[in-house]
Amino acid sequence: MREIYIASHGEYARGIVSGLSLLIGDDHGVTPICAYCGDISNTAELEQYLDNLTLDAAGRGNEVILFTDMLGGSVNNTAILVMMRHPQLHVIAGANLIMLMEFCLSEQPTTALRITAAIAMATDAMCYVNRLPEILLAADAGASDEHDNNDDFFSTKALS
């Protein structure tokens, strides 16, 4: 079984979990870890916290999936230190909402395949919206075509 966490600098992790709950429901199983606020005020406390949760999960026969906010940051670097001691800990850097949604909803049979699919989905979802062909075409059309429904994904009203 898997235990899923997201660790971040500050409240970012809590925000991601809030978004997950809104979009896919409360049964996603992701637990936020907010470093440098609350009970975790430094890297030593974060390392101890991650070490304990990984040991506890191992005692239950579970692996730990730990998404972090950014590669090279202190949260991720601390997670890597813990990962080196615990092979059942998987660390994924650069977490965002789409990545977590894909991981939680994935039907891939292995953790590695779920992680790979989640990273691919998150990467594919990143774009510079101003340069999307649909947006450029709408802008070239003069954005004069008014839509009655502002919920249209490519509504030109937003371009005016």
Per domain, the residue ranges of the chain are 2-125, 129-159
What is the predicted pLDDT for the residue at 160? Answer: 45
What is the pLDDT at residue 152? 55
Spans in the chain with pLDDT lower than 50 = 148, 156, 158-160
- 116-155 pLDDT per residue, tens: 999 999 999 999 999 899 988 988 887 655 554 555 555 5
Distance CA 102, CA 17 (A): 13
Backbone angles phi, psi at 153, to 5 degrees: -60, -40
Q: Which pLDDT value is given to residue 141?
A: 87
| pTM of the predicted protein model | 0.85
Place of tokens 């970012």: 12
Give the residue from 124, 126, 122, 128 showing the smallest Cα distance to 93.
Answer: 122
Burial of 66 (0-12, 13-18, 19+ CB in 10 A): buried
- What dihedral do alpha carbons 29, 35, 38, 42 form, nearest 10°? 140
- Residue 59 has a CB neighbour count (10 Å cut-off) of 8
Residue 33 and residue 23: Cα distance in Å, rounded? 20
Helices (H), 25-110: 43-59, 74-85, 97-105
pLDDT at residue 31, as a whole number: 98
Q: How many residues appear in the chain?
A: 160
pLDDT at 142: 78
Architecture of the domain defined by 2-125:
3-Layer(aba) Sandwich (3.40)
Instruction: State the virtual CA torsion across 14, 35, 106, 20 in degrees, nearest 10.
Output: 0
